[in-house]
Amino acid sequence: MNQKLRYVSVNIMRYCSNKYNAVPLRSKKPKSQSKQVQNFVDMMSVRAVGGKGGDGCISFLQLWANENAGPDGGDGGNGGHVILMATHNVPSLNHLTSVLSGNSGEKGFNKDCHGKNAHHLIVEVPIGTIIKDKNLKVVGDLDQEGAMFVAARGGAGGHGNGFFCSDTNQAPKVAEYGAEGEELTYVVELRSMAHFGLLGLPNAGKSTLLQAISRARPKIAPYPFTTLKPHLGVVQYSDYEQITVADLPGLVEDSHKNRGLGISFLRHVERCAALILLVDISGPEPWQDVALLRHEISCFSKELAVRPQLIVANKIDMPDADTQLKDFRSKLPGETILSVSAKFGTNLLELLNMLRSIYDNSVQRELLSSKS
């Protein structure tokens, strides 16, 4: 039923968008002036420790006129599990700590009062989070809203001495300690990070473009360097739709062979709905950059190579850019090429409208495939 409602709402959204021409909006608040830049955390190692079970109680009931009424020690409560749950509420893994400890169960009491079971520790993670064990084997894939993974089970509560009462032992003076919870180490990795992945060679202008279209603040400098950690930017539209764009680390030749940032780069784009191939038009042969990007993507994943791609020629403000752009278009006949200047904001509105069109088409295909 939810899919049908979403299908109808998307059709209404597309109708309104076509009729009223939904346009990208400026940010509602200015960019932060703080010098501290928060990086997008998409992978980290965590140690999950389940809660300890409560200890059992040793107690003997004493009643009026019956001093030996028998053992009445209660059992301890169970320790809490550590659970990872996928949700839309968090965008990254920045909030995770290196140690996730579950709550301990309550100890038992006299008069056969059992201790309370501890509440489970539920840690929210973004949808698309993958959990690997210490051998880097995938043990969990949280690809849906509400999907859960038990990272560490809590220990069982210990029995009180009332549990050990028998015909041959009427007054046991023994109880159990609560069991320790599991302690396991995982590598938590986020692969579903944005609707659009911004790909390009180092110094193609990816960070400048992301800063121009969103409130993101990636590092920008006049000297050559490459982004080492991904940054996310959000583009808002007048019909309340939001599209996320990721500035991914620079790609170099043979990245699929783990050269440079290698696989640590390519895994970022595995679940992006579409790809933006950003090319520096001022280079000597920019069409070779497109071929290199596509070759690295296809070597890494055949499925990723067939996803929607948009070629964006950046730095048209440079000298002789018009001539180079004509040569660039002639080398790639039939391709949709959009020319922009991220530094001066040229044609950025056209770029954002094209991103919205690709996004709507991808959502429509996803709904049709899930409906069939």
Would you state the structure tokens that stand for residue 320, as one six-digit string?
């002789």
Residue 19 has pLDDT above 60, yes or no: no
- Residue 161 carries which side chain, given as an amino acid letter? N
Region of poorest pLDDT, from 144-158, 176-190, 201-215? 201-215
d(CA 342, CA 360): 24
pLDDT at 18: 47
**Span 56-105, pLDDT tens digits:** 999 888 888 777 788 888 899 999 999 999 988 887 788 889 999 999 99
The dihedral through the CA atoms of 24, 26, 29, 30 has a sign that is positive
Q: With CA atoms as reference, report the closest residue to 215 among 250, 239, 191, 242.
A: 242
In order of their start, the domains of the chain are: 43-192 (2.70.210.12), 193-371 (3.40.50.300)
Residue pair 249/229 in contact by the 8 Å Cβ criterion: yes
Burial degree of 331 (CB within 10 A; 0-12, 13-18, 19+): middle
Would you state the structure tokens that stand for residue 2, as one six-digit string?
């939810």
Would you state the structure tokens that stand for residue 59, as one six-digit string?
């107690």
**Span 157-185, pLDDT tens digits:** 999 988 888 878 888 888 889 999 999 99
d(CA 361, CA 4): 17
Would you state the structure tokens that stand for residue 210, as one six-digit string?
């992301």
Would you state the structure tokens that stand for residue 188, as one six-digit string?
């938590």
Q: With CA atoms as reference, report the closest residue to 162 among 228, 125, 85, 110.
A: 110
d(CA 23, CA 335): 25
Find the mean pLDDT for residues 13-34.
59
Residue 367 has pLDDT above 90, yes or no: no
Residue 207 has pLDDT above 50, yes or no: yes
Q: What average pLDDT is seen over the chain?
A: 78
**Cα-based distances in Å from 80 to 86, 108, 122:** 19, 16, 10
Residue pair 146/86 in contact by the 8 Å Cβ criterion: yes
β-strand 309-314 against 274-280: which pairing, if any? parallel
**Span 277-309, pLDDT tens digits:** 888 888 778 888 888 888 877 777 777 778 888
